[in-house]
Chains A and B, each alone.
Chain A
Amino acid sequence: METPTFTSSVHYQDPKAALAWLENAFGFEVTMAIDGPPEAPAMCHYEMSVGGRGRIMIGGQWEETVKSPKSLGGANTQVVHVMLTGDLDAHCERARAAGARILAEPADEFYGDRRYRVADLEGHRWSFSVHVRDVSRSEAEAALGQPIVAKDWP
């Protein structure tokens, strides 16, 4: 688990409740936790991983311009995408059972991933996928109906 180049920081009204929820619903694990002082609980810092891989930072609304979707009528400015291994549908059912709002049921995508989209307890949007098959450039172009000009595929 070396430090990943990109890390998203996701902010909640109640970060401690979010930690427990993310563990229960998505199977994330806490890898770092620094609780804020009693008089300023928003001054906390948490990090989580999935099965020992990757990193997401979890924080509070520590200043006026840092908001949870719950404080913004559900608006999101980003979606965190997580590449999983294993059974995506089981992951989705676990999230559903934990009270997550499923925005798009698991489905096979043309590029070879199976994916679902979900909202968490404060309305942050997440997308989870598992790679299920390799898709050739020509097959993907046929699915899209247009050429893929990118140098690298996939």
Chain B
Amino acid sequence: MTQQGQASRVLLAIRVNATPARAFAAFTEEIGQWWRPNGLFEFRRGRSGVLSFEPGSNGRLIETYEDGTIFVIGEVRLWEPPRRLVVAWRQESFSPDQSTELHVRFEEAGEQTRVTVEHFGWDTIPQRHAARHGFPLGAFQLRFAEWWQVMLRNLRDRA
């Protein structure tokens, strides 16, 4: 990401009772089961579906809706099981030059694995943009962080 995008990092980390390999698998293969849509962070306005990864370094993160249509959230930029994952992250309302990026790390912590999620780039999305809902950056980041915290606890309960 650009230096600009670095300025708005949102990081969350949690320990899970699993190996890095199991945590990576739970994160990628089972994202549809632990992910919960949030009205503030819809990929497409007024719609919510099920998330899934098309695995591999040429893979994608997609949302699938009840009618079978999909929205591509972003392409995989780094796929290094069981350690690291980087995927682009955009909402439908982003212009072609707007994007955020999700970085995930899986590190051994004794008997557990520390899962760290870092999201970069929200400062590249203007406050007046629909995706920001008019929130100042700090408030927006906190809402986003709290939502990710809930997601990671769901992941922990599955892993």
Q: Which residues of A contact B (CB under 8 A)?
A: 1, 29-38, 43, 45, 51-52
Residue of B7, B10, B13, B123 with most chain A CB atoms under a 10 A cut-off? B13
Interface status of B103 (Cβ within 8 A of chain A): no
Separation in Å of the A79 CB from the closest CB of chain B? 26
Interface status of B137 (Cβ within 8 A of chain A): yes
Interface Cβ pair total, 8 Å cutoff? 47
Among residues of A, the one whose C-beta sits closest to the C-beta of B3 is A38
Q: Give the residues from 122 to 148 in chain B that come closer than 8 angstroms, CB to CB, to chain A.
A: 123, 137-138, 141-142, 145
Q: Which residues of B contact A32 (CB under 8 A)?
A: 11-13, 145, 149
Q: Which residues of B contact A (CB under 8 A)?
A: 7-15, 109, 112, 114, 123, 137-138, 141-142, 145, 149, 153
- Cα distance A35–B119 when bound, in Å? 11
**Are A52's CB and B14's CB within 8 A?**
yes
**Are B138's CB and A36's CB within 8 A?**
yes
Q: Which residues of A contact B114 (CB under 8 A)?
A: 29
Q: 6 nearest interchain CB pairs? A: A33-B11, A52-B15, A34-B141, A38-B7, A35-B9, A31-B13
**Are B138's CB and A43's CB within 8 A?**
yes
**Are A33's CB and B10's CB within 8 A?**
yes
Contact of B9 among A29, A31, A34, A51 (CB under 8 A): A34
Q: Which residues of B contact A36 (CB under 8 A)?
A: 138
